[in-house]
Structure 1
Amino acid sequence: MSNQERHPGEQRVCTAEDTTPCPDTELLTPREVPLGGPRAMPVLRSLPGKNRRMIGAWCFADVYGPTDISHQAGMQVPPHPHIGLQTVSWLVRGRVHHRDSLGSDQLVQPGQLSIMTAGHGIAHSERTPQDAHPVLHGAQLWIALPEGDRHGPPAFAHHDDLPVLTHPGARLTVIAGDVDGHRSPARVHTPLMGAEVTLDPGAHLTLPLDPDFEHGVLPLDTPLDLLGHHIEPGALLYLGPGRHHLDLAATRGARLLVIGGTPFTEDLLMWWNLVGRDHDEIVRARTDWERARTGHGTRFAPVTGDPGPALPAPELPTARMRPRPPHRR
C-alpha cells in the first residue's frame, strides 16, 4: 500500500545499534518487593508499572535471583488465592514445589512450564523443596483472563514438551502462544506469545513478531542494549505494535523473555493476588478467601499437602478502588 500523505514526515527505522530510544518504546524500571509471608524473598517487579500496566494480556512480571539459597529458606509462599488470571511459572535454575486446591502436586523445573488458570477461584502454594539446587532463579508472570473466560472453572497444566528452536549461537523456547509457526501446548485465552531466548556471546537472532501485537523484552541475567535503551535484568522494555521482527544481539551472552499480545481492551482492578473489574468484586473475593482460610467457605478449597497455614489477606484500602486501563492515557 502506498503512503498517500502529501507532506510525509521523516520515518525512522530503529535498529539495535541506535543510541536514541525509539519513539514506540518505553523502559519499565522494576521495584523490589517481598514475595510471600514472614520469610519473604525479594523479587524485582516491572509489571504493572506506573504508566503501563499491561503488555497484551500479560499483567504482571516478577524476576527473582539468581540467589544462593543454600543457607536460606528460598521461596516459601504459603497458600493464597487467585481469581481472573493465569499464572506462568518459569525457572532458569532451581526447583519449586507447586500445590493447589485442585489437588495438583507438581515439581517445577527449568525449561518446563507450569500454567495455572484461576478462573472463578483457586488457591496454591509455591515452596522451595528441601533437596533443591542451591541457586534459585526464575520468573513469575500473570495473564489476565478476558471477560468471557474469567468466571470459568480453575485448571492446572504442566508441560515439559515445549517447542525449542535452535539457531547458530541462539536457542528459543516457546512458552505460550505461537512463534514463527511453532506453538506451545499451553492453553491461553487471548492472542499472545511468550518465549525464552538464550544467546551465546556475540550471537545474533532475528525474532519474527506479529505486527498486531505489542511486545516486551525482559532480561533475566545480564544487561541488554536494545533500541536505544540499556535494560538491566528485571527491567522490561515495551515495544509498540507494528513491528515484524526484532533483532537481538548480546556481546556477553544473554537470557531473556519476550512476551506479547494484542492490546487488552478491558480495564482491570488488580489488588493483592486478585484480578477483577470493580471494587465490590474484589471485596467479595477477599471475604470468600478469609472464610475459606478459617474453614468456613467453599469458593477456595484447601491446598492439600502444604505444610503451613494459609496467607491472610491484607486489609482493604479505606477508599473505593477503581479499575484502570492497560496504560495511562
Structure 2
Amino acid sequence: MSLVSELAQSPAVVERLVRDARAPLRELAGRVEQRGIDAVFLAARGTSDHAATYAQYVLGIRNGLATGLAVPSVQSVYGAHPDVSRALVIGISQSGRSPDVVEVLADAREQGAVTLAITNEPASPLAEAAETVVALEAGPELAVAASKTYIAELAVVALLSDALAGGGAEAELEALPEHIARALETEQDAQHAARELRGLRQCAVIGRGYHYATIREWALKLKEMALIMSDPYSAADFEHGPIALVEPGYQVLAVAVSGPTLAGLAELLPRLREDGARLLVISDDASVREVAEDAIPLEAGVPEWLSPAVAIVPCQLLAYHLALANGRDPDSPRRLHKVTLTR
C-alpha cells in the first residue's frame, strides 16, 4: 500500500478518534485538574516529535500550560531522573516501541506523574508504561514514511486540548475530517509543483506558530522520500542568520496560514522573492499565494489551531510526488525502517 493510499484514510481515522478518544481524555483532564498540574512534558522521536511540537503550541496557547520537549537521552543514556512528579508527561510513538521514549514515560510514572501514551499500538511497551492510553486506531501503516498516523497524533493532541479546556470545540473537531478530505483534493496541484521542482537538491522550509510543526514534518518527508536536503526554520529564526543563504534560484518552501503569524510571512516572502529566491507557498490566503512562482491552495476558514492537520496533507503529497519525479521510491526509502529503536 502506498503512502498516498494510506493518507487517503486520514479523514476516516480522525472521524473515529473524534468519536472514541474523548472519554479517556476527559477522564485524564479530570485528574490533571484534581492534581493542580500546570506543566506538560512530551517525549517522542521522528515524526511523532513534530506532533509533540504541535502540542507545545496548542497546549501553551489554548490551555495556558507550560510545555517542554523531554530529552530522552537524559534518562536512557545518562541515567538522570529530572523531577516531573507534578507534571503531565506524554509519550507519542506510532509503534510504541522506541526504548528511550518508553523509558521517559516509565520514569515519570514511577515518580507519580500523570502519564499518557498516544500510540497506534495499544499493546506496546509505551502503552504498558502509561496510566492512560489513547490508541490512534489508524490501522496498519505499511509505507515507511508516516502519513495518516501523524495526522491522527495531531488530532489526539487537539482533542486533549479541548478536554483540558472543559470542552467547547466539539463542532470544530467534528468538522476536521471534512477539512482533511478537501485537502486531499490538492493532489493535482502537488503533482504540478513536483514537476516544477524536479531535480531539487536543497531548500529551506519556513513557517511559524502552529505551523512550525508542519514545516518540520514537511522537511523530514522531503529528506526521507525525495532525498532533498531540506532545512526547516521558524520564519523568525530564518531572519536571524539563514536568510544569508538566499541568492538567485535558492528554493524556499513556505506554509503561510491565516492567523497572527500570517502578517510576518506576508512581509517576508516578497523580500525573499526580490532577493532572487524561488518560492513555493502553501496557503489559504490568495494574496500570499500570488507572491510565489508555485502555490498550493488551502481551504479558507479552518480554525488556525486545527489547521496543521490539514496543511500537512499537501506537504506530504508534494514530497511523495517529488520523490517520484526524482526517480526515488517514496514508499520504501533507502536505509529506513518502519520501527526505529534508539536509546
Q: Which interval holds the TM-score relative to the shorter structure? A: under 0.3
Higher helix content, 1 or 2: 2
What TM-score, normalized to structure 1?
A: 0.27
What TM-score, normalized to structure 2?
A: 0.26
